[in-house]
Chain A
Amino acid sequence: MHTKSLSELSAALHSGEISSVELTQHYLDRIKTHNDDINAFITICEESALEQARAADTQLQNKTAGKLTGIPLAHKDIFCTEGVRTSCASKMLDNFISPYNATVVDKLNAAGMVTLGKTNMDEFAMGSSNETSFYGPVKNPWDTDRVPGGSSGGSAAAMAARLAPIATGTDTGGSIRQPASLCNLTGLKPTYGRISRYGMIAFASSLDQAGPMAHSAEDAALLLNVMAGFDERDSTSVERDVPDYTDTLNNSLEGLRIGLPKEFFSEGLDPQIAETVNAAIKTYESLGATVKEITLPNSKLAVPTYYVVAPAECSSNLSRMDGVRFGHRCEEPTDLNDLYERSRGEGFGEEVKRRIMIGTYALSAGYYDAYYLKAQKCRRLISEDFKQAFEEVDVIMGPTAPTTAFKLGDKKDDPVAMYLADIYTISTNLAGLPGMSIPAGFVEGLPVGLQLIGNYFDEARLLNVAHRYQQVTDWHQQTPESFK
């Protein structure tokens, strides 16, 4: 049951072959059996999940059910869920029971989906290995000595271990695509503004975007259909119609123009990954696509630009965590400043403190022009590169990550080395473009992701391009041995 696609699960639920309660219980049992091995979930919502499943079964019996009614899912613990702890994997919010739902959560609830639990992540989504979580690191189901990637590492590991049929993630610099690559998943970061950020705990507001983490492009399209859309409660939400993303999945790729940025295939890329990615591109040629080399000359600016913009925005966003209205508060504060400083000093982990300090410095009097303004200008250069590239090609392809999953602890003490794990994904966030990672093969038993980057609001094309590849390959259907 746990290797079926969403469409297969939907058919089984609608035909009465299985009930939502049975399906939900099956996944809850799997979580109980396997979660200790990989630490993918922070909170398991057994009672409320079964309650949602019973409501779904009533709808299925009444014939009022939709396509996704009764299908379980896992939410990254960054999405506010009313009445359920929403920790963002931080000690700061360990006691935070959200008083409201994120728009994404409301929408998926309204679609009749069943929330199995809240998944582990890097603290406040800051990290690329899921080692900064207050609740301990997540382990990669393909090799439990290795990281699942981050920051949506818990969603990725839960999916890879088949503890959920679909999950939500968020991506500020690669946090959906990089773990999808390291865990053999199909992950989509839509165009900035496509999905509401309301109730999604803010990290870097001009970059953050939610998206589906799935086993196939078809499953991702089904979830995106529900997640996407305008929301007046998010001031950067885009007023634009949402197509049915499943309608165009089977479009022909004949004449598709693929661009390969030479900067994505240069030094720093593992040669075996380059080989795997090139093999995938050959497959696309056999499906009728044409390939040309392109250049994104300012790619080298992406990581340094990101490490000004993201920390600057996070230092501002996280100032709301002050020990006054919610979250962690220190014992016996002597004065207001002591209350702020100790509540924040105790509540935040090392990486979060580092980034708040980078951002605070970059925004401080006398340094704003040198850092933040300079980075905003470099951001425009990066974005212009893509604009030019999309005049010549329909989709850009390359590796998602420079390496396969690395060992736990390998990069933990070297922030700069960790930051480079997102070298190919960050520029997409800076430009606001949609990006995807899809399974493209294995190197020494570890998954490799192919990254697809599309033009603004071209999610339907990305999903179509991914789906056609998944019709002729079966990398996306592989399951790690211990979790079959």
Chain B
Amino acid sequence: MSLDKTDVEKIAYLARLAIDDNDIPEYAQDLNNIFDLVEQLNDADTSTISPMAHPFDAKQRLRADTVTETNQREKFQAIAPKTEDGVYLVPQVIE
């Protein structure tokens, strides 16, 4: 595995993580070491194996489509970094 600086920058962008330029070589090295470990999986023959997403292959439980929660907007927004008139504030998105 050989992820380079550009790969790490792309992954960090996809993950929406600001990382310091000086730290990129170390991240690249660490990620390469980890993917070297992961590549041991290629030795396993899984051609006839179905993927396992859940220990009991359970299906998502469904419930009736009725309102079960009460509105707690004020309580939840009390811990938000920035709100106004009941909405969350972010930098302007649309010109």
Contact = CB atoms under 8 A, between A and B. Distances in A.
A225 B78 CA distance: 35
B46 A353 contact: no
B67 interface: no
A215 B17 CA distance: 41
A345 interface: yes
A334 B91 contact: yes
Nearest to A341: B18
A456 interface: yes
A329 B80 CA distance: 9
B52 A371 contact: no
Contacts of B39: 304
Interface string B27-46: 10011011101111110101
Contacts of A96: 79
A301 interface: yes
B93 A357 contact: no
A432 B41 contact: no
Nearest to B79: A326
A315 interface: yes
Interface stretch (A44-52, A244-252, A358-366, A399-407): A358-366
Contacts of A415: 30, 33-34
Per DSSP, chain A at the interface is helix
A235 B78 contact: no
Interface in A392-430: 415-416, 419
Nearest to B38: A304
B16 A354 contact: no
Interface of A: 95-97, 99, 191-193, 206, 232, 235-236, 238, 298, 300-301, 303-305, 307-308, 315, 319, 322-327, 329, 333-342, 344-346, 348, 353-354, 356-358, 360-362, 364, 371, 373-381, 383, 415-416, 419, 431-433, 456
A432 B17 CA distance: 31
Contacts of B78: 99
B15 A416 contact: no
B81 A329 contact: yes
Interface residues of B, number: 50
Contacts of A356: 15, 17
A99 B16 CA distance: 26
Contact of B31 (A97, A361, A431): A361
B76 A325 contact: yes
Interface in B56-95: 56, 58, 60-61, 63, 72, 75-76, 78-82, 88, 90-93
Contacts of A298: 44
Contacts of A348: 17
Contacts of A206: 53-55
Closest 8 CB pairs of A and B: A432-B55, A345-B18, A376-B51, A377-B46, A329-B81, A380-B52, A341-B18, A340-B16
A431 B55 CA distance: 6
Contacts of B15: 315, 344, 356-357, 360
Given A344-B17, A357-B8, A324 B52 contact: no
Contacts of A304: 37-41
A222 to B, nearest CB: 26
B56 A235 contact: no
A415 B36 CA distance: 12
B52 A344 contact: no
A97 B63 CA distance: 30
A96 B33 CA distance: 34
Given A357-B8, A377-B52, A432-B55, A301 B41 contact: yes
Nearest to A414: B33
A290 to B, nearest CB: 28
Contacts of A324: 80-81, 88, 90
A318 to B, nearest CB: 9
Contact of B88 (A238, A325, A345): A325
18 contacts: A191-B55, A206-B54, A232-B63, A236-B54, A308-B38, A326-B76, A335-B91, A341-B18, A353-B19, A361-B3, A364-B11, A364-B14, A377-B46, A377-B50, A378-B44, A378-B46, A380-B49, A383-B55
Given A304-B37, A381-B49, A360 B44 contact: no
Given A303-B37, A304-B38, A235 B61 contact: yes
A364 B66 CA distance: 36
B16 A322 contact: yes
Contacts of A232: 63
Given A99-B75, A307-B34, A361-B31, A353 B58 contact: no
Given A324-B88, A325-B76, A358-B31, 20 more contacts: A99-B72, A192-B56, A206-B55, A236-B54, A308-B41, A324-B80, A325-B88, A326-B80, A333-B91, A341-B16, A344-B16, A357-B27, A357-B31, A358-B34, A360-B15, A374-B42, A380-B50, A383-B55, A416-B33, A419-B37
